[in-house]
Structure 1
Amino acid sequence: MSIFGPLVDVRPLFPLERQALLGLLRGLEPADWARATVCPGWDVHDVVAHVLNDYMRRLSGARDGYSGAVFADDETLPAFLARTNEEFVRAARQLSPRLMIELLEQLGPQLDAVWAAQDLEAPAGLNVSWAATDVDSPCWLDVGREYTEFWVHQQQVRDAVSRPGATEPGLMAPVLGVFAQALPFTLRAHDRPEGTVAVLEVLGPAGGRWSAVWRAGRWRMASQVTGAGEPAARVSMDQDTFWRLATRGIGVEQARERAEASGDPELTAAMTTLLAVVA
């Protein structure tokens, strides 16, 4: 019995998200590239370089079977990612915005082809640690995570240059749905009686309603089980608050101020700590 929700295929969305990103980047003024983002120490140029790094890293690994990863002694995965991301961003500061745009444009379709060849129901090439650490993630969730990564970084650039966009439901709703897969892991420390249900409601055109149920000794996405009863806990927040909470664009306390919660206080408190990035 899977702990994850139903398969979500985001593969057709990668070209659309990239088209929106490239249109945004081509319209930036030179000064815009130096504007600070929510990512500590990174400006717009740095965030775009990080996206380029993601493209190249996944092409190297998933297409070419090349890792090249060298961990320092006792280095955890989050520490490794933080270090290597920073190293790439620093090195990429010598790249022009025009060149980075051209590279994203050229490499993007190659990465799309990698996703298209994936068996979405197979085990993931890279497990999604914020969804589970003791079972293999499905491939569709790994691919979905990559989509959320690109979409969120685009939003960070848009925030920095005050150009909203790419939030239409077709592009944004799958991001929220993938992030909601973190719900069982978020609740993992709280054992409850069999059949206990916790509901997360995200309000807005791209929002939705997701449930986790305690079944067979662990929390699972309720869509994968039957007989889910009335919720013991419910948290409701708007779509902007949810994606920013999940990526720590805002803090837990700020999210709680914007949310409405009812029912089991331990469960609602845990739900408002949901995190859908490696940290």
Structure 2
Amino acid sequence: MAGERDPWLPDRLLRTERDALMPLLRGTDQYDFAARTACPGWTVRQVLAHCGAALVRIVEGRLEGAFTPEANAADVRERADWTTSQVLDELERGFTEAGPVIAASDGDLDVIALGEWVHAGDVRDALGEPGAYDGKGALEALTILSVVSRVRHTPRLHATLHGHNAPLVLGNEVEGRPAASLAADVPTLIRLYAGRPLVRTRYELRGATESELVIYG
């Protein structure tokens, strides 16, 4: 799964997630948008507001000062008075239109597309839905992660994933240090690299610490 960047992979990931997530969200009870997520302090609605705002920033080229914790929080506050339908409409627009812009970039924005997929997992997890950090788009997400993990300078790791024949190679070689190894399922791998809670997960990690693997933060 490792290799050179495919510029259109983020677009495919975003569109796949749009087609899977938006019908679920359109049919979700208003009450459930107030459920808390794995993102400290944020509800489902706030996570979705952040996701839509981030993607539309990319679409509209408003990237200066973007994607910092402060900017993300400001984007969410700006949408506090929006209806849920408005939040979902912006998110769907972002899923649809951001991919070509990301494809034309130098690769720095690929991590945002991956983050959107991870946040979709946060939402599914909070709503008690199956497929959190797995399911449709997982192969594309893992391929992007293999590249992003090198860009973010995580140590070399060989991941043996349940249900996958070929190991996933992540991160960069470190002189004098052998590659780490991980045996886990896909959702646990994503939780590790995204810095999500690991309660109830089962994995075997050797040669690296959990904190060394996190690409967000």
Bin for the TM-score computed over the shorter chain = 0.7 to 0.9
Q: 1:7 aligns with which of 5, 9, 18?
A: 5
1:105-184 correspondence to structure 2 within 5 Å: 105-116=92-103, 118=104, 124=106, 139=107, 142-165=108-131, 167-168=134-135, 171-181=137-147, 182=149
Q: RMSD of the TM alignment (CA)?
A: 3.2
Partner of 2:81: 94
Change over 3 Å in CA distance of 1:162–1:212 after alignment to 2: closer
Structure 1: state its 5+ residue gaps: 70-76, 125-138, 188-196, 220-230, 263-267
Query: C-alpha displacement at 1:107, in angstroms?
Result: 4.3
Query: How many residue pairs are counted as aligned between the two chains?
Result: 211
What's the CA shift for 1:23? 1.1
Letter in 1 for 2:139: A
SS in 2 for 1:39: coil
Cα distance change of structure 1 residues 90 and 6 upon mapping to structure 2, 3 Å threshold? same
The 8 Å contact of residues 179 and 276 in structure 1, kept in 2 or not, is answered as no
Query: 1:149 offset after TM fit, Å?
Result: 1.1
Separation (CA, whole Å) in 1 of partners of 2:183 and 2:211 = 10
User: Alignment partner of 1:258: what SS?
Assistant: coil
| Equivalent residue number for residue 163 of structure 2 | 204
Residue 246 in 1 paired to residue 193 in 2? yes
**Counterpart of 1:269 in 2: which secondary structure?**
coil
Which residue of structure 2 aligns with residue 135 of structure 1? none
Q: Which has the larger radius of gyration?
A: 1
1:185 equivalent to 2:156? Answer no
Cα offset, 1:36, TM superposition: 0.6
1:260 maps to 2:204:
yes
Residue 28 of structure 2: aligned partner: 28
Query: Which of structures 1 and 2 has the larger relative contact order (alpha carbons within 8 angstroms, sep 6+)?
Result: 2
2:213 counterpart SS class? coil
1:47–1:157 Cα contact (<8 Å) kept: yes
Moved more, 31-40 or 175-184: 175-184
Q: For the residues of structure 2 that align with 1:213 and 1:146, how far apart are their CA atoms?
A: 20
Structure 1 residue 203 displacement after superposition: 2.5
Question: Shift of residue 113 of structure 1?
Answer: 3.4
Deviations 1:222-260 (A, max 9, x none): xxxxxxxxx764332221111011111125xx69x8322
Residue 271 and residue 91 in structure 1: after superposition, are their counterparts in 2 closer, same or farther (change >3 A)? closer
Matched, 1:276 2:215: yes
Per-residue deviation, 1:177:
2.8
**TM-score after normalising by structure 1:** 0.64
SS in 1 for 2:72: helix
Post-superposition Cα deviations, 1:63-116, rounded to whole Å, max 9, x if no partner, equal xxx4453xxxxxxx9xx7111111221221111111112223334433233245
1:27 deviates by: 1.3
Unmatched runs of 5 consecutive residues or more in structure 2: none
Retained in 2: the 8 A contact 1:45–1:93?
A: no
Alignment partner of 2:182 out of 235, 242, 262: 235
**Equivalent AA in structure 2 for residue 153 of structure 1:** H
SS at match of 2:82: coil
3-state SS of paired residue (1:19): helix
Distance 1:111 1:164, change over 3 A: same
Note if contact 1:55-1:107 (Cα within 8 Å) is conserved in structure 2. Answer: yes
Call closer, same or farther: CA 1:102–1:261 in 2, change over 3 Å: closer
Q: Identity across aligned pairs (percent)? A: 27
